[in-house]
Amino acid sequence: MEFAFTNSIQHASDGMKAQSYRMRIVSENLSNADTPGYKRKQLQFAQVYDTQAGRQVLKAGNVSLDRREGERVFDPGHPLANADGYVEMSNVNMMLELADAQQASRSYEANLSTFKQAIEMYQGLIDVLRR
């Protein structure tokens, strides 16, 4: 059922879904920060035309891997050490991931407050019916 603020609410929920998917990717990266050989994941945002919904929809998808080399640590006793005694650790940069997490959280809150405003404005409209 469509009403005046349908579009606002749909956009806000698209944004919230995208940002929470982004948080998920960040937490996966952070939890694997010490896994040897782990490549961090990256997310792409795009606006695609969804034929089922009949409008432009924000899609957070297309998870790709950051192919940079991880830090090489000298540890001959490690089971995964190569011939020179080096182990390649993950290429996750903690600072980068934490900053990303903070941005995702901020954007999520912005979308949430948009949603709340839409609801409040709609309630203001319904209020007119009250005597």
Partner 1 sequence: MYTNTYLLKLSSNMAAHQTARHNIVANNIANVNTPDYKAKDIVPFSKIYNVQTLSPSLNRPSPDRLVVEDRTASEKPNGNSVSIEEQMVLSAQIQNDHALAVSIYKKGMSMMRMTLGKNL
Position 12 contacts partner 1 (CB under 8 A): yes
* Residue of 27, 35, 46, 64 interacting with partner 1 (CB under 8 A): 46
Position 29 contacts partner 1 (CB under 8 A): no
Position 94 contacts partner 1 (CB under 8 A): no
CA dist list (Å): 101 to 7, 38, 88, 94, 110: 27, 19, 25, 10, 14
Least distance CB 2 / partner 1 (angstroms): 12
Quick check: 1 and 97 in contact, CB under 8 A? no
Which 3 state secondary structure label does DSSP give 109? helix
- C-alpha 97/C-alpha 31 separation (Å) is 11
Quick check: 23 and 101 in contact, CB under 8 A? yes
Least distance CB 41 / partner 1 (angstroms): 15
Nearest to 25 by CA among 8, 43, 51: 43
Q: Per CB under 8 A, which of residues 103..122 are in contact with partner 1?
A: 106-107, 110-111, 113-114, 117-118, 120-121
Position 96 contacts partner 1 (CB under 8 A): no
* Residue of 1, 2, 5, 71 interacting with partner 1 (CB under 8 A): 5
Least distance CB 12 / partner 1 (angstroms): 5
